[in-house]
A and B are shown apart, each in its own frame.
Chain A
Amino acid sequence: MNEKAVKIEDSRDVVRARHEGREMARKLGFGPADQARLATAISELTRNVIQYAGKGVCVITDASEMGIAKIRVRVEDHGPGIADIDQAIEPGFSTGNGLGAGLPGTRRLVHEFRIDSKPGHTVVSIAIVRRRA
């Protein structure tokens, strides 16, 4: 199983993480649109880590199975956590003076989206999938 872990500590790591995601998508045969979707989703989630938790990690995994190509991304931090997840995924909700577009936007870009959060631990997991020809 192919896996890439990128430490997320400053904004250069956001660039690095989205680059790794794009590369894996390309190698697994995902087209330009899926490459852009995944890279953009990773960019949003890792920026949130820096902004709201200070640091964390982004793990990008080739989770392909027979007949389908799949990339799973797990973005994890040990920051304050997301108090109200339903509210956080509302378009326009932001505690950081942002647009509140990151989480709701990401959710629309990917096939799987899940947030687990409690004080001291937040994990956002996403995946994109493609049927193999």
Chain B
Amino acid sequence: MKIAILKLRDILLTSIHVDLTDEDALEFQADVLEMVKKTEAKGIVIDITAMNVVDSFMARILNETASMVKTLGAEAVICGMRPEVALTLVEMGRELTGVETAVNLEQGVDKLRELIKRRQ
């Protein structure tokens, strides 16, 4: 299961639109990091609107991916988390910490631009 990662000028956009196995999630993480390195993108927006389950494993992958993107000198924003998914994570004590989030793709891109500007 390959998740497409699109390059849009200096940023990357990706949308997780299918239910990922743990292996898929790890592959996605590796792909994101590789793309950030290869394209020297300034940041990435990861859209999770379609995800209806984010368990502790997936939450960890998202957290890790965002922080690894940062260590590569880029910014990461996760957008579109459904309210029920956010609620479930809070109830489990696993909210995404230290990750920039936005409600939808449009605001995600705006936020990413802002973060990139702040970094420069």
Which residues of the other chain, A, contact B57 by a CB distance below 8 angstroms?
Answer: 43, 47, 98
28 residue pairs from A and B, CB less than 8 Å apart: A11-B22, A12-B21, A14-B22, A15-B20, A15-B21, A18-B53, A19-B19, A31-B84, A32-B83, A33-B83, A35-B52, A35-B84, A36-B52, A36-B87, A37-B91, A40-B88, A43-B55, A47-B57, A98-B56, A99-B56, A99-B94, A101-B56, A101-B93, A101-B94, A102-B55, A104-B92, A108-B93, A109-B91
Interface residues on A, range: 20 to 34
List which A1-27 residues lie within 8 A (CB) of chain B: 11-12, 14-15, 18-19, 22
Count contacts between A and B, CB distance < 8 Å: 75
Report A46 CB to chain B, min CB distance, Å.
10
Interface of A is mostly: helix
Binding site for A on B (CB under 8 A): 19-23, 52-57, 60, 82-85, 87-88, 91-94
